[in-house]
Chains A and B, each alone.
Chain A
Amino acid sequence: MSAMRKRRFNPDRDVKEWSGPSIPYDILKEAFVALVAVGCLVLLLAVVFSSPDEHAVTLKTWSTADPVDFAQTAITQLDGTSPVATYGPPYNSTPGAAQHIGFFEPAQWLGTHQAVDTAKDFVLGPLQTLPGDAAVHQAVSEYEAASSAQRQAWTSAYEKAVADAKDVNGTLQVPPGPYGPVGTIIARLTSMAQSGALDGALSGQGQFYNTNYTKPLLFIASGNYLADLAGHQHLQGDQWGMMNETGNYPGQAWLWLYTMWYQVAPMNSSSNADLEVWGIMMVLTLVLIFLPFIPILRSVPRWSRVYRLIWRDHYRRLAQSRVARPQSVSATVEPTS
């Protein structure tokens, strides 16, 4: 038996050396022409359609447009029941909150590496930066000095009261109740947000140019205001929002497959949907990468014969020369199954 075992010819794996005709092709010229053509097209489309220009949603715009929703969200930041406060890693260590598939729990493994204490970071801390406001400083001190049970009693009472709050010409009006200093705290936080100071307090990094909007975004995302705006623009996860853009602008159509998984069971009702969809896409990506090694799938391009449509001139000439000289061209014919 010879050391080099001769394998049977497989058209999906083996390629005969091409000995047929060839033509010169200037790929640099093609790239340059394509660059110029696409550049002109982009310029033309930019002039005709411009680009989306939605105004940024800030704590100021939110608290001004809907102070009741702002206050209802702010109290959940204070008592630690907001979506951010209970999100789990990377913001906090809420037990069982991290998405997982069986033992695969990457968020939990990476831990809390961007800690957010919603009460301190979103409410009490910013209020303490207000200069010359003795009433709010006293309210914050009273709240911090109180027992855990007392705080919970105050915040529970305020949550009940703020459910019936009203927006009177942009001013928050909450029915009276036994909520102690919490009324002053949320009222001041609302007016601070309406002035724009809360945006500055949450995004300030001590640098001239600020690029980190994580905290104000987390705060805003806890309320209903941003979600309602997103829903109106078809940008929610259950609206194929990943591939949409605001208004009538085309969006990220190439994300159709990624966002499609969020619309079907069990992902559309799963608390681990992000991880499950990511897992599906990783498996499909691996299939694509290793396509040349996967039997049956790797034969689809040969069976579909699209290549014969693209190179139809070549195959037409080949067929003609076969008719004319059946013996001499046999060496240049591609192997077929």
Chain B
Amino acid sequence: MMHSLLLGSLIDLGGTGHYIHWGFIQLSVANLVVIIAMIVVFALAIIIPFPRHGGKDK
């Protein structure tokens, strides 16, 4: 029991995959989630202010 808990994952992503079909495009839901996450991180990288170090411009 302990071994299976340690060696297994908390969330099992095995099994039958889920896919989105749009015309000739086939995209897995997992890939779509990763792509959306990348776009969000990119947007945040632009939106979040550049960190300042407390000093003035030199």
Which residues of A approach B to under 8 Å, CB–CB? 21-25, 47-50, 52-53, 233-234, 239-240, 243-251, 253, 263-264, 306, 309-310, 313
Contact = CB atoms under 8 A, between A and B. Distances in A.
B19, B26, B35 interface centre (most CB from chain A within 10 Å): B26
B3 to A, nearest CB: 14
9 contacts: A234-B28, A239-B26, A243-B31, A244-B31, A245-B28, A250-B30, A253-B35, A309-B46, A313-B50
B33 interface: yes
Interface residues of B, number: 32
B16, B17, B25, B38 interface centre (most CB from chain A within 10 Å): B17
A82 B29 CA distance: 36
Interface string B45-58: 01001101101011
Overall SS of chain B's interface = loop
Contacts of B18: 248
B11 A49 contact: yes
Given A21-B58, A49-B11, A313-B49, A244 B24 contact: no
B57 A244 contact: no
B55 A23 contact: yes
Contacts, number: 82
Contacts of A244: 17, 28, 31
Overall SS of chain A's interface = loop
Contacts of A264: 24
Given A50-B9, A251-B31, A234 B58 contact: no
Contacts of A310: 46, 50
B13 interface: yes
Given A49-B11, A52-B14, A234-B19, A250 B31 contact: yes
Contact of B30 (A23, A48, A245): A245
A47, A50, A53, A251 interface centre (most CB from chain B within 10 Å): A50
B40 interface: no
B10 interface: yes
A260 to B, nearest CB: 8
B44 to A, nearest CB: 12
B10 A48 contact: yes
A186 B29 CA distance: 43
Contacts of A247: 13-17
A50 B11 CA distance: 8
Contact of A253 (B12, B15, B31, B52): B31
B9 to A, nearest CB: 3
Nearest to A25: B53
Contacts of B12: 50
A233 B17 CA distance: 7
